[in-house]
Amino acid sequence: MTKKEQEPLYAAIIGDIKDSRKILDRKNVQEKFHSVLQKINEKYAEDIASEFLITLGDSFQGLLKNKKVIFNIIFEIELAMAPVSFRFGIGLGTISTEIQRDNSMEMDGSAYHRARKMIETVEENEKKYTQSETNTMILSGEGNQQTDQLLNTILSLATALKSKWSERQREIIYAYFIQEENQYKTAETLGIGQSSVNKALNIAKYYTYKTALLNASNFLSPNCKEGD
């Protein structure tokens, strides 16, 4: 086994807020976002190699050692910050510098390069009329084109599903997610009936969405290897 093959693979997530200049209360949004990222760092502490932090303006990044929580983290950020919209670029690869838990700004490697490429691709695709809709893309290197194509197709379909969610549906889904997917606890938290929670989840096609991302997460870890 070569030295390159022995290097551990990480997942870099780089994101930014869409149309941030159009947000009227940017100061409060940024303060809320900082708080959300702090909670992510605490909740997923064992999965994180370098903590999520706000970088330039309305951009942020983080580095994971456990690839199976990528989509959970993205999903949680989106729900917590709704109706603010995001772009996400995911890059799988190695890190060529020393891992710094609390300062990813001084780190570099193929994982970050690929994540940046993907977020740029998402932004470029938004300007094309014939491009499929997505706010999240992933790149894992040479030799994994078919895997990336499959995962990005799933992410595109997931974007299409969640784009139809109403503000109320998002609120119920977020509460459901926070309450460890217990409909009765969610109902109690929101002061509504369990049947109302169940109805909202089904109308939003939440379980279809969840299954798609769960399958993507399970498929991700064993198949993605560092390319040349």
Confidence check: pLDDT of 63 > 70: yes
Confidence check: pLDDT of 41 > 90: yes
Give pLDDT, residue 1: 33
Cβ-contact 221, 67 below 8 angstroms: yes
Q: Give the pair of three-digit tokens for residue 5.
A: 């093959």
Residue 108, helix vs strand vs coil: coil
Distances (CA, A) of 34 to 19, 38, 81: 18, 6, 11
What is the pLDDT averaged over residues 15-39?
89
pLDDT band, very low/low/confident/very high, at 21 (cuts 50, 70, 90): confident
Q: Indicate the pTM of the whole model.
A: 0.89
Dihedral (CA of 165, 151, 40, 111) sign = negative
pLDDT band, very low/low/confident/very high, at 16 (cuts 50, 70, 90): very high
Higher-confidence residue of 99 and 4: namely 99
* Per-residue pLDDT tens digits for 170-202: 999 999 999 999 999 999 999 999 999 999 999
**Domains of the chain by start residue, with CATH:** 3-140 (3.30.70.1230)
Other CB atoms within a 10 A radius of the CB of residue 210 amount to: 17
Give pLDDT, residue 40: 97
Between CA 208 and CA 182 the distance in angstroms is 17
* Per-residue pLDDT tens digits for 70-86: 999 999 999 999 989 99
Give pLDDT, residue 7: 63
**Torsions phi, psi for 18 (to 5 deg):** -75, 140
What pairs with residue 138 in β-bridges? 90
Q: Give the pair of three-digit tokens for residue 208.
A: 């279809």
Please tell me the least confidently modeled range out of 5-14, 30-39, 173-182. 5-14
Give pLDDT, residue 228: 37
pLDDT band, very low/low/confident/very high, at 49 (cuts 50, 70, 90): very high
Cβ-contact 122, 138 below 8 angstroms: no
